[in-house]
Amino acid sequence: MIGGNKNGVLEIKTTTIQQSSQWEHWNGQVPDYYYTQILHQFLATGYDFAILRADIRYYKGTELRHTVRDYFFERDDEQIKADMEYLLHKEKEFWNCVQTRKVPNLILPEI
């Protein structure tokens, strides 16, 4: 039984791996952009858990294949709590920029 009397979020994603290096984002984790969406869902809804189902397509030679992976997240996990706190802080900073019509700082990727 998932959740009991708890409320949760279901995120369903599809993606296609174009380069083998992209598998690193799925190695025992989910890509940051999906994880951040889960954190925001927790903040916006107050729900207790989230399930992410990913249909990952990839090529083996010229043949298109796919695998399905499921990930479960609980709001009361200590790391998730810390990450939600950080995300909320950054979202408030961004919203302040919107309200004051200030261009937010550019975040450049690590090279």
Answer yes or no: is 2 within a domain.
no
pLDDT digits (tens, 9 = 90+) for 82-102: 999 999 999 999 999 999 999
How many CB atoms neighbour CB 74 within 10 A?
14
Answer yes or no: is 108 within a domain.
no
Residue 50, domain extent: 8-100
Task: Inform me whether the pLDDT recorded for 35 exceeds 80.
Answer: yes
Overall number of domains in the chain: 1
Answer yes or no: is 105 within a domain.
no
Answer yes or no: is 110 within a domain.
no
| Cβ contacts of 50 within 8 Å, gap of 6 or more | 8, 9, 10, 11, 38, 41, 42, 72, 73, 75
> Average pLDDT, stretch 31-60?
96
Task: Inform me whether the pLDDT recorded for 39 exceeds 60.
Answer: yes
Nearest of 58, 63, 62, 49 to residue 14 by alpha carbon: 58
Confidence of residue 4 (pLDDT cuts 50, 70, 90): confident
Angle at 110 between CA 108 and CA 111, to 5 degrees: 115
Answer yes or no: is 111 within a domain.
no
pLDDT digits (tens, 9 = 90+) for 51-76: 999 999 999 889 999 999 999 999 99
Answer yes or no: is 106 within a domain.
no
Answer yes or no: is 79 within a domain.
yes
pTM to 2 decimal places? 0.83
Confidence of residue 3 (pLDDT cuts 50, 70, 90): low
Answer yes or no: is 96 within a domain.
yes
